[in-house]
Structure 1
Amino acid sequence: MPHRKQPRTPAPLPLDGDYLRQVLLELLEIPSPSGRTDHIQQYVGERLSALGIPSTVTRRGALSACLAGPRSTGADRAVVVHTDTIGGMVKQLKENGRLELKPIGTHSARFAEGAHVRIFTDDLDRVVTGQVLPLKASGHRYNDDVDLQGVGWQQVEVRVDEPVDDVAGLRALGVDVGDFVAFLPNPSVTPSGYVKSRHLDDKAGVAAVLTAFKALVDAGVQPPVTAHLLVTATEEIGHGASHGLDPDVAEIVSVDAAVVAPGQQSREHAATLAMGDGVGPFDYHLTRNLAAIAARHGVDLVRDVFDYYRSDVAAAVEAGAHARVALLGFGVDATHGHERTHLDGLTHLAQLLCLYLQSDLVFPEWDAEPAGDLADFPSLAVQPASADGPRDGPIGIADAG
């Protein structure tokens, strides 16, 4: 068995709460439905540049940056978040001067009803506003039939805030099939710390990650392992981290919204460690290591399993990423609907990321190469020392959880 070096001992770092809140609100105000994310990626790149962290952008719009470790080991880590959100696209110009929508990403028209929107035409200097309404929107006209109308994207339409009542009028505005439609977030932070807004998935995660990276920079802490940051722009349509990862990455931690709902353990005031999702379980060793870091430092962390859920790392694994993968989240009530989270949960998440970025890899020697001898492969009977120091002894199957 390879000798394991004593890992670096992580320490909690001061977090800039004002920065977290400001960045979150600024991110929320930038429309970024999947497929139209140039503006928000530019914003994130500028935030990274202000921290002294250079970044590059891929042809497909993913942003890549890193905090360099002290040495090249052939095994790095990556944190992955996404800036794209659910949204819509103009599917049809209707004869009544309104717009039929095709959803971008997976979300119900139930939660689109009443949303204020921006319609982005090909004229970059002109943005048309509107509102999503059910086809039967007037109680004085339809009476009880309002409540009998079904739910679906063919049951809603966009009322444009211009004097138009036919297709010609829409075309005169520059509106056409294929135009992006962004649902306005209407964000607010309550005195008790709740954040209410559309698109907390995953802009709250981006804010937490930037806050964690800022904490390391402000404290002058160099991570023991080179830490890559990949900001993807197509997670909501399933592509996610399918490209842009450095080939040396051995561990990937995705950061995304955690589901607060009946039957789930996630809470708005806590960070979440996902043990599995709709694609399958996450890496056994990496998830337990993250749980150990949180427990040792008093980070409020709950474990959860999600049914109808996939994240950036699913796309990474499907694209052939040769890495251990895990998912950390922030509890969000009413995901892909009228979302709400809490600043406490985002703070716990940012602190756990700070601790993780200061720790060694789970298996720094084994994972330095993409493959090795079977006799050296980590198993339940050969657990590593935790990221905070060696365990009292090897873990057997009975107490591996």
Structure 2
Amino acid sequence: MSNQTIEWIKYLTSIPSPTGNTSEIIKNIERIISNLGYESFENNKGSLIITVKGKNHKKQRLVTAHVDTLGAMVRAINPDGRLKMDLIGGFRYNAIEGEYCTIHTTKGKTYTGTILLHQTSVHVYKEAGTVQRDQTNMEIRIDEKTQSKEETQRLGIEVGDFISFDPRTEVTKNGFIKSRHLDDKVSVAILLTFLKKIKEERIELPYTTHFFISNNEEIGYGGNSNISEKIVEYLAVDMGAIGDDQQTDEYSVSICVKDSSGPYHYSLRKQLTNLCIENTIPYRLDIYPFYGSDASAAMKAGADVRHALIGAGIDASHAYERTHTSSIESTEKLVESYLLSSMID
């Protein structure tokens, strides 16, 4: 696996990009793409599309990864100056309890804070361990001298300001990567590494391929537009979910056979499996029961494509996540093998 992929993961996770506030990270990716020698197009929704011409232009492929992450917005300012939140994306409050965060005001200022249960202190609240973690009881303690709603408002903080979570990215000596937002910045880094490789090694793809960096996946409509009628196959590169009854692990590439939207294209899934077998790529077939991808969003939008979903195995998804370089390497190999392969008949 390329060390460049790890460096890009660390770089991308360092840039806040909750769904709805992704312009900064898109600009940074656009700069990387330009430095690699590619042109890119930003659609009206703010997604980034890079088209690489291949030998066959009549049949085309599209591959996506999303750069938007979970986050929150300021829901209200409490009388004591602390903030209530409204969540962006599908996760629970217990997944962010105790996490550091940043409040991004509409005027460009940022303030740090900590996400806490209102009844956190066991010296004061008998119910600290049992009280419901929800919008009513969870709040942000701002790192500013503010003890009233009016004092917080004078900081420039308003309802609707975005809140990002500290990623706390760490790469261990034995190859584990711990961070928030590995979903799906790992996949974006993988695509960037592949784009770098084909440019440097002057590899010609068998089919014209569109690399779609989407920015609305966490709320259900990323990657569902700008799909040419020439596109035959659509591959989403996203995370593989780990848990009870799941086959996915942190050391293989996960190939999704079904998620909450239904089964993925059977023939394309079999092609991906065969590529793993032929190239000795560790893989796992899996079902994600509470999951939707850019590919499933495209299908719901009416795209006439064969769709598939693969990705690195991510533990503790939508919380403080972890994967291993082995899983990333396996995903890189499958992405490359697929994009260099012939389409199924």
TM over 0.5: yes
Is the Cα contact below 8 Å between 1:213 and 1:354 reproduced in 2?
no
Q: State, as a whole percentage, how many aligned pairs show the same letter.
A: 32
Structure number with larger C-alpha Rg? 1
**Higher fraction of strand:** 2
Question: What are the superposed Cα offsets for residues 191-236 of structure 1, whole Å, 9 maximum, x if unpaired?
Answer: 0110001111000111112112222222211001111101110000
Q: C-alpha displacement at 1:245, in angstroms?
A: 2.4
Give the whole-Å Cα distance in 2 for the aligned partners of 1:219 and 1:351. Answer: 16
2:69 alignment partner in structure 1: 85
Give the whole-Å Cα distance in 2 for the aligned partners of 1:71 and 1:336. Answer: 39
SS of the aligned residue for 2:73 comes to strand
2:8 alignment partner in structure 1: 23
SS of the aligned residue for 2:274 comes to helix
Q: C-alpha displacement at 1:103, in angstroms?
A: 0.1
SS of the aligned residue for 2:318 comes to coil
Match of 1:37 among 5, 9, 22: 22
Question: What are the superposed Cα offsets for residues 271-309 of structure 1, whole Å, 9 maximum, x if unpaired?
Answer: 111011011000011000011111100111111011000
Say yes or no: does 1:138 pair with 2:127. Answer: no
Which 5+ residue runs of structure 2 have no aligned equivalent? none
The one-letter code of the counterpart of 1:46 is R
Q: C-alpha displacement at 1:154, in angstroms?
A: 2.0
Give the whole-Å Cα distance in 2 for the aligned partners of 1:352 and 1:45. Answer: 24
Give the whole-Å Cα distance in 2 for the aligned partners of 1:24 and 1:343. Answer: 11
The one-letter code of the counterpart of 2:4 is Y
1:109-148 alignment runs, 5 A limit: 109-124=93-108, 126-142=109-125, 144-148=126-130
Give the whole-Å Cα distance in 1 for the aligned partners of 2:300 and 2:139. Answer: 36
The one-letter code of the counterpart of 1:246 is S
Q: Over aligned residue pairs, what C-alpha RMSD do you find?
A: 1.0
Give the whole-Å Cα distance in 2 for the aligned partners of 1:244 and 1:231. Answer: 12
Match of 2:55 among 52, 60, 70: 70
The one-letter code of the counterpart of 2:96 is A
Q: C-alpha displacement at 1:160, in angstroms?
A: 0.6
* TM-score of the aligned structures, taking structure 2 as reference length: 0.98
1:352 alignment partner in structure 2: 334
Q: C-alpha displacement at 1:182, in angstroms?
A: 0.4
Say yes or no: does 1:244 pair with 2:226. Answer: yes
Give the whole-Å Cα distance in 2 for the aligned partners of 1:314 and 1:258. Answer: 15
1:382 alignment partner in structure 2: none
Match of 1:154 among 115, 136, 145: 136
1:313 alignment partner in structure 2: 295
The one-letter code of the counterpart of 1:217 is K
Match of 2:188 among 197, 201, 206: 206
2:92 alignment partner in structure 1: 108
Give the whole-Å Cα distance in 1 for the aligned partners of 2:179 and 2:51. Answer: 29
Which 5+ residue runs of structure 1 have no aligned equivalent? 1-14, 364-401
Provide runs of 4+ in structure 1 moved above 3 Å.
none
Q: C-alpha displacement at 1:338, in angstroms?
A: 1.4
Q: C-alpha displacement at 1:246, in angstroms?
A: 2.7
2:153 alignment partner in structure 1: 171
* TM-score of the aligned structures, taking structure 1 as reference length: 0.84
Give the whole-Å Cα distance in 2 for the aligned partners of 1:71 and 1:99. Answer: 54
Give the whole-Å Cα distance in 1 for the aligned partners of 2:64 and 2:178. Answer: 23
Count residues in correspondence: 345
Match of 1:180 among 162, 165, 168: 162
Give the whole-Å Cα distance in 2 for the aligned partners of 1:43 and 1:23. Answer: 11
Question: What are the superposed Cα offsets for residues 244-279 of structure 1, whole Å, 9 maximum, x if unpaired?
Answer: 223311100001111111210001111111011011
Is the Cα contact below 8 Å between 1:230 and 1:244 reproduced in 2?
no
Say yes or no: does 1:256 pair with 2:238. Answer: yes
The one-letter code of the counterpart of 2:156 is G
Q: C-alpha displacement at 1:70, in angstroms?
A: 2.1
Q: C-alpha displacement at 1:153, in angstroms?
A: 2.4
Is the Cα contact below 8 Å between 1:230 and 1:245 reproduced in 2?
no
The one-letter code of the counterpart of 1:88 is A
1:299 alignment partner in structure 2: 281
Give the whole-Å Cα distance in 1 for the aligned partners of 2:163 and 2:3. Answer: 31
Is the Cα contact below 8 Å between 1:30 and 1:40 reproduced in 2?
yes
